[in-house]
A and B are shown apart, each in its own frame.
Chain A
Amino acid sequence: MSSVNIARALKAIKRSIWVYHLNSGSCNACDIEILDALTPYFDVERFGIKLVGSPRHADLILLTGPVTRESLPKVVRAIKAMPRPRLILALGSCGVGGGIWWDTYSTIGGFKKLEDILRENGVEVDRVVYVPGCPVRPEAIIYGILLLLGVVEQKVKKVEVVASES
Chain B
Amino acid sequence: MKDEVRTIVEKIGGVVEEVKKSEIYVRIPQQTVRTAARLLYDSEAYFKTCVGVDEREVNGFYTIYHIFGLDSQGVDIVLKVLVPEEDPQTSSIVSEVPAADWCELEIQDLLGIKFGGRLTKRLVLPEDWPDGVYPLRKEFRYDEKPSRVIREELHEEAGIPVGPYHPALHEPEYFELYVEGEKVVDVAYRGFHVHRGIEKLAESPRFTYKQVPFLAERICGICGFVHSTCYIMAVEKAADIETPERAEFIRSIVLEVERLHSHLLWIGVAAHLLGYDAGFMHAWRIREHVMVLAEYLTGSRKTYGINVIGGVRKDLNVDKIDKTMKTIAQVREEFKKLADALLSIPQIKSRAVGTGVLTKSEARALSVVGPVARASGLYRDVRKDYPYLAYGRVSFRVPLYTEGDNLARLLVRVEEVFESIEIVKQLVDLLPGGSVVVEEYDIPPGRKAVAAIEAPRGEDVHFVITGLGRPYRWRVRAPTYQNIPALRAMLRGTPLADAPLTIASIDPCFSCTDRVLVVDIETGRKSFIKLVRGG
Contacts and interface: CB of A to CB of B under 8 A. Distances in A.
Interface of A: 20-36, 39-41, 50-56, 65-66, 68-71, 73-74, 77-78, 81, 99-101, 103-107, 134-135, 137
Contacts of B196: 25, 66, 68, 101, 104, 106-107
Contacts of A32: 169, 221-222, 265, 302
Contacts of B285: 39-41
Of all A-B residue pairs in the complex, the 9 with the closest CB atoms, nearest first, are A29-B221, A53-B534, A74-B163, A39-B284, A104-B197, A28-B221, A106-B197, A70-B126, A27-B221
Given A27-B220, A106-B126, 15 more contacts: A21-B168, A23-B170, A27-B218, A28-B221, A31-B169, A31-B221, A36-B291, A41-B288, A51-B167, A52-B167, A53-B533, A70-B126, A106-B135, A106-B196, A135-B301
Contacts of B219: 27
B135 to A, nearest CB: 6
Contacts of B341: none
B94 interface: no
19 contacts: A21-B166, A21-B167, A23-B171, A25-B193, A27-B220, A29-B302, A33-B302, A40-B285, A53-B166, A66-B196, A70-B192, A71-B193, A73-B155, A99-B218, A101-B196, A104-B142, A105-B145, A107-B196, A135-B302
A55 to B, nearest CB: 7
B481 interface: no
Contacts, number: 173
Given A28-B221, A31-B171, A52-B167, A68 B195 contact: yes
A20 B163 CA distance: 13
Nearest to A40: B285
Contacts of A35: 168-169, 284
Given A51-B534, A100-B218, A104-B201, A28 B164 contact: no
Given A51-B535, A78-B162, A68 B284 contact: no
Contacts of A23: 165, 170-172, 512
A28 B172 contact: no
A81 B127 contact: no
Contacts of A70: 126-127, 192-193, 195
B129 interface: yes
A127 B222 CA distance: 30
Nearest to A135: B302
A74 to B, nearest CB: 4
Interface string B143-171: 11110000000110000011111111111
A100 B161 contact: no
A25 B303 contact: no
A101 B301 contact: no
A29 B197 CA distance: 18
B198 interface: yes
A51 B144 contact: no
Given A23-B512, A27-B220, A134-B303, A107 B165 contact: no
A23 B302 CA distance: 18
A43 to B, nearest CB: 9
Identify which of B145, B284, B535 gathers the most chain A CB atoms within 10 Å of its CB.
Answer: B535
Contact of A26 (B168, B201, B221): B221
B226 interface: no
B229 interface: no
Contacts of A52: 167, 534-535
Contact of B165 (A27, A78, A99, A106): A78
Contacts of A66: 196
B194 interface: yes
A34 B165 CA distance: 15
Nearest to B280: A39
B118 interface: no
Nearest to A70: B126
B516 to A, nearest CB: 14
A60 to B, nearest CB: 12
Contacts of B161: 54-56, 77-78, 81
